[in-house]
Structure 1
Amino acid sequence: MSDVVVVGGGFAAVWSAAAAVRARLEAGRSADEIVVTLVAPSSDMVIRPRLYEEDPGSMTVPLDDVLGPIGVRRVRGAVTSVDPAAGRVSVTGEDAPGALAYDRLVLATGSRLVAPPPVPGVEYFHDVDTMPSARALEWHLDQRVRSLGTGRFTAVVVGSGFVGLEVATELVERLGRRADAVDARSKVRVVLVERADVVGPELGGGPRPAVLDALREAGVELVLGTTVAAIDDRTVALDDGTHLDAETVVWVGACGLMGRSTGSR
């Protein structure tokens, strides 16, 4: 018997498990001969690229609905260590077996957002990196209707990569729907802040004209060559001296992503 263990619960992990099953079928081997196991801490796969949208709680798919029909065993737990010499991973969790042996191991634990800089008021940053943080942002947006601040329907998005562009353009409508409840659509303002001198610096120059057109059409303001220096619950200070009345600040990690896997191998 040969065992394949896939660690992770996102798109890469699910596709890796599916690929292992396909390889098993192509080799004419049975599920008893090659056991494919996926280890993930949650029973659901979060559709993470869509957490910037309205109702992020709906952006999940039960893993068993995907893995069950193709014959992948699912273990709910977290891998705490990997022993390559012994071909074994340690797993903790309520229904975890404690250890799993493997002949082939795929680490597909994904990535996490780089933490924002430790500026004064860093606790006021929101993000859409995880389901809890996306839900926290949605709750925060809902509360703006009750606020009396001048910046209650103003949002500052820090970072203009793919996620920053998505967050900024979507926030125009998300804030707009809430502003409509108090007849304040004209008060909606979204400001996209980018440290570089161009929008979407890592995207290259090719798509930039289309990006700029889309931002203008959505009504997103662009501030380049600066970043956030300080935040409180009502204002955002940029390091070029600009102050913005804004009650919502979203950090999208303009510096990139960091792997989730840490610890022993």
Structure 2
Amino acid sequence: MIDIDAADMRVIDRMNRRYGSILNRMRVWREPASEAVTGLALDGYGIVYDEPLIYDDEIWVFEAGCFSDSLKSGQAIYFQLDHDDKQRLASTRDAVSFADNEIGLAFRLDLSEVERGAELKRMVDTDRRAAISVGIRNEETRVQTIGKHPVRFITRADLIEVSLVGAGKCANAFAGIVNAGFETLEPGKKGVMFTANFAEHKLKRMKKSIAERNAAVDSISAKLDRMEGKRPIASVEAGVRPDAGR
């Protein structure tokens, strides 16, 4: 059994109270049991800037504006599943749009324009796939030592595709359902549904992180208990036989 300490529980409880009413309203807006996707879109961040992530055993940080040239180039940028080129579902030529802001690279996919729109909606509704990962080609980077660790800063990159995945390298890159009846389908617009989706994603990630941390602590504790149980008595440790002197 995994225990969450009192301080962590207080943080989680505050977040739950803060976003609970919004999330309840969102369940109605999303209509999770419905297959209809008319007026719905996937909205979220493909990457969050100035947030370290691990890639190829390096620490990477994407800087704001690193995709500006790529977004202005007019080249097709694809929306895929699991970085699979055979599952390219849309592109900037039809149902995908992007917008940069100070937080990250925002995207929007119009589900009503995608053949597998209902399937994508189910994936996100059930959390089977609700994270986003980017496929890029680095054009300009610099490596800077922060503390004792080299960090690769991405200053310019070619954005090739974004993929809906189960878990991505960037912890806060996410996809959520938004309803055009409540906020306009404008990429990067931080309306109530976008904001609540982002908060919900971060809350779930925090709960998972706490559970993983406590599981690691339990594992270490169990190993120490096993070692303690095998420890010889002090006289033997000191090289003295228990029956010495008899």
Q: TM-score, normalised by structure 2?
A: 0.24
